[in-house]
Amino acid sequence: MELGFYAPSIGLTRPTAATITNAPRMGSNNNMNVTETVGAQIGMKGEFYALGNRRQNYDIGYSWSGTSFELKYKTYLRDRT
């Protein structure tokens, strides 16, 4: 099947090579979208005596994460094709 194969079914004529004037389509503008997310978490717990009474507990934590996303695309003006 070619471009415009079903055109006669809705009352239009099939296009030919001479009537297709918009090929090839060149994209109008280049778009770029960059998203970056960074997160950090830190924590401490507790409880401490010393060597004499001996009760020693502590819980120290650190967490880091990062995400990056990049998108490039080209748009076409469909109303002018």
For the stretch 6-61, pLDDT in tens is: 888 898 888 877 777 665 556 667 788 899 999 999 999 998 888 878 888 889 99
How many folded domains does the chain comprise? Answer: 1
In a domain, 17, yes or no: no
From the centroid of its chain, how far is CA 57? 45
In a domain, 50, yes or no: yes
CA dihedral 17, 21, 24, 29 (to 10 degrees): -160
In a domain, 71, yes or no: yes
pTM over 0.85: no
Comparing 33 with 74, which gets the higher pLDDT?
A: 33
Q: What are the phi and psi torsion angles at 53 (to 5°)?
A: -95, -10
For 43, the domain range is: 22-80
